[in-house]
Amino acid sequence: MSDTLEFEITRNERPVTAGERAAILADPGWGRHFTDHMVTIRYSAERGWHDAKLEPYGPIPMDPAAQVFHYAQELFEGLKAYRQPDGSIVTFRPYMNAARMNRSAKRMAMPEIPEQLFVDAIELLVRTDKDWVPDTEGHSLYLRPFMFATTRALGVNSPASEFLFMVIASPSGLYYPRGIKPVSVWLSQDYSRAAPGGTGEAKFGGNYAASFAGQAEAVQQGCDQVVWLDAVEHRWVEEVGSMNLMFVYGSGSKARLLTPALTGTLLAGVTRDSMLKLAPDLGLPTEEGKISVDEWQAGCESGEITEVFGCGTAAIISPVGWVKGRDRAWTIGDGEPGEISMRLRQELIGIQYGTRPDPYGWVHKLS
Ligand code: COI
């Protein structure tokens, strides 16, 4: 199978006007507005990937018996396009998203997509809708590649054989309107996000559907986000909301970073990986390990743990300020974003927005 396809291009005859677009870009919110075009690529067991199209953004006809509606066979990715100081546009580590989508696809019995086709699809959409890439500091064009089963069949004994891969794009501001102010988190004891042997490390829509009740419980408890613990002992800390978690021990030149290791139940975040590579270059040793709820509380109470933050593509870095559980509660630091969290955030943002050098080769210029 070829690694690329020729795209059939149909331009949107009624794109959003320049005035409407400017109004949207002035206050984009997060994930609420979409650009003028989208990409669709079909897959069938007989033909492989075919029928690659760039077309006007809009509803797609779907058969009510399509397997995705019944058995939730759906995967997605998330990455961003950033406007550079010279007006050009870059994406960030797109091949890493492509590779992760393919790992997710394996777990969900879905077809892998050639990495180059994944990146070509993103580039074509960003190039076509380049005027939608914001130039406001901290804003970006959020790209959402996703894939789902379209096979018309209710049986489950043979896996789906037809799929649709799509990319849509959404101009976006800050994920949390409150910005980088620390969030409060609720330790979920009743719900689990992922179990050993399950789908936790796949970026599978169902993982997110299964998390909504836990998130709703967190909000009911007066918290902003839910912390997921391991499903077996409800003791080991795994993730926060849809983000990976990072713990800063110590401060100044003695600081170090710990993040829960990828055990199969955690998502291998691109931002997580970038933090693990950036931090040592800023003099901050890193460790992928294990931390229990008890250790987290004791570490904060003794002052050993100085900062905690969630990290992901959408929010980048989201400091955690307070923790609440059924029978416990504690604070982290002084309720302000920690110095190390902010330094790591600035470094990463600087690379993404082209205001700092990129010694890692992470920034991917539009070809
Ligand atoms: C991310 O943190 O990048 C996410 O995956 C969030 C998304 C589910 C809205």
Closest ligand 1 atom, CA of 314? 3
Q: How far is the CA of 89 from the centre of ligand 1 (A)?
A: 21
**pTM, whole model, 2 decimals?**
0.96
Domain 183-353, CATH number (from 3.40.710.10, 1.10.357.10, 1.10.10.10, 3.20.10.10):
3.20.10.10
Reference 126, options 212, 19, 37; nearest CA is 37
Closest ligand 1 atom, CA of 78? 3
Cβ neighbours of residue 168 closer than 8 Å, sequence gap 6 or more:
34, 35, 38, 57, 125, 143, 144, 146
Reference 276, options 225, 321, 311, 239; nearest CA is 311
Q: How far is the CA of 273 from the centre of ligand 1 (A)?
A: 15
Q: How far is the CA of 313 from the centre of ligand 1 (A)?
A: 6
Q: What is the pLDDT of residue 101?
A: 98
The answer on pLDDT for 346 being more than 70 is yes
Q: What percent of the chain has pLDDT over 90?
A: 93
Closest ligand 1 atom, CA of 203? 5
Q: How far is the CA of 78 from the centre of ligand 1 (A)?
A: 7
Closest ligand 1 atom, CA of 313? 3
**Contact between 82 and 90 (Cβ < 8 Å):** yes
Q: How far is the CA of 249 from the centre of ligand 1 (A)?
A: 26
Residue 175 carries which side chain, given as an amino acid letter?
Y
**pLDDT class of 335 with cuts at 50, 70, 90:** confident
Let me know if domain 8-172 sits in CATH 3.30.470.10: yes
Closest ligand 1 atom, CA of 175? 9
Q: What is the pLDDT of residue 1?
A: 52
Question: Which pLDDT tens digit goes with each residue over 172-219?
Answer: 999 987 778 999 999 999 999 999 999 999 999 999 999 999 999 999
Q: What is the pLDDT of residue 247?
A: 98
Average pLDDT value for residue range 167-171: 98
> Nearest residue CA, atom 2 of ligand 1?
312
Question: Which pLDDT tens digit goes with each residue over 266-277?
Answer: 999 999 999 999
Which of 80, 144, 240, 243 maximizes ligand 1 atoms within 8 Å of its Cβ, making it the mutation to test the pocket?
Answer: 243
**Contact between 142 and 78 (Cβ < 8 Å):** yes
> Nearest residue CA, atom 8 of ligand 1?
242
Which of 77, 313, 345 maximizes ligand 1 atoms within 8 Å of its Cβ, making it the mutation to test the pocket?
Answer: 313
> Nearest residue CA, atom 5 of ligand 1?
242
- What is the C-alpha to C-alpha distance for residues 286 and 280, in angstroms, rounded to an integer? 7
Report residue 127 as tokens. Answer: 């190039």
Ligand 1 neighbours by CB, cut-off 6 Å: 78, 208, 242-243, 312-315
Closest ligand 1 atom, CA of 315? 2
**pLDDT class of 158 with cuts at 50, 70, 90:** confident
Q: What is the pLDDT of residue 159?
A: 83
Closest ligand 1 atom, CA of 243? 2
The answer on pLDDT for 325 being more than 80 is yes
Average pLDDT value for residue range 49-63: 98
**pLDDT class of 333 with cuts at 50, 70, 90:** confident
**Annotated domain spans of the chain:** 8-172, 183-353
Q: What is the pLDDT of residue 177?
A: 78
pLDDT averaged over every residue in the chain: 96
Handedness of CA 109, 95, 85, 88 (dihedral sign): negative
Between 176 and 345, the more confident residue is 345
Reference 119, options 137, 145, 87; nearest CA is 145
**pLDDT class of 2 with cuts at 50, 70, 90:** low
> Nearest residue CA, atom 9 of ligand 1?
314
Q: What percent of the chain has pLDDT over 70?
A: 99
Average pLDDT value for residue range 145-150: 98
Q: How far is the CA of 153 from the centre of ligand 1 (A)?
A: 30
Q: How far is the CA of 345 from the centre of ligand 1 (A)?
A: 17
